[in-house]
Amino acid sequence: GQSLEQPSEVTAVEGAIVQINCTYQTSGFYGLSWYQQHDGGAPTFLSYNALDGLEETGRFSSFLSRSDSYGYLLLQELQMKDSASYFCAVPDTGRRALTFGSGTRLQVQP
């Protein structure tokens, strides 16, 4: 089966940079995804890494190291609206359903 570990909570100040780590154990690897979820809202897709390295999308970047079974989400120039929960996720061995981590709650302070 799959399992993912990420910190439960991270706090940072507006304008800063924050990194949210994720380590995973899978029986087969088909990529690492990141989702953002505001309180009471729907999870929304942020990024996907299938290969090692850094993927950049605006203020958000995501990194993957398959040899270390590790990835991270990097948020730059933090804004108050970035306060949310962030989940890493991996596909199951059939590449049909996603298994999610328990989430990292990010609090951005003024």
Partner 1 sequence: GAGVSQTPSNKVTEKGKYVELRCDPISGHTALYWYRQSLGQGPEFLIYFQGTGAADDSGLPNDRFFAVRPEGSVSTLKIQRTERGDSAVYLCASTADPRGGTGELFFGEGSRLTVL
Decide: is 94 part of the binding site for partner 1 (CB under 8 A): yes
Decide: is 100 part of the binding site for partner 1 (CB under 8 A): yes
85, 19 Cβ separation under 8 angstroms = no
Decide: is 45 part of the binding site for partner 1 (CB under 8 A): yes
Would the CA dihedral through 53, 21, 73, 69 be positive or negative?
A: positive
The CA-atom distances, in angstroms, between 7 and each of 23, 26, 33, 74, 88 are 10, 19, 16, 14, 11
> What's the CA gap between 12 and 9, in Å, rounded?
10
Among 14, 97, 107, 109, binds partner 1 (CB under 8 A): 97
Decide: is 31 part of the binding site for partner 1 (CB under 8 A): yes
Decide: is 12 part of the binding site for partner 1 (CB under 8 A): no
Contacts with partner 1 by CB under 8 A: the residue count is 27
Decide: is 91 part of the binding site for partner 1 (CB under 8 A): yes
CB of 31 to partner 1, least distance (A): 7
Would the CA dihedral through 76, 59, 23, 64 be positive or negative?
A: negative
Nearest Cα neighbor of 2 from 110, 102, 107 is 102
Decide: is 44 part of the binding site for partner 1 (CB under 8 A): yes
* Binding residues for partner 1 (CB under 8 A): 8, 30-31, 33, 35, 40-45, 48, 87, 89, 91-92, 94-103, 105
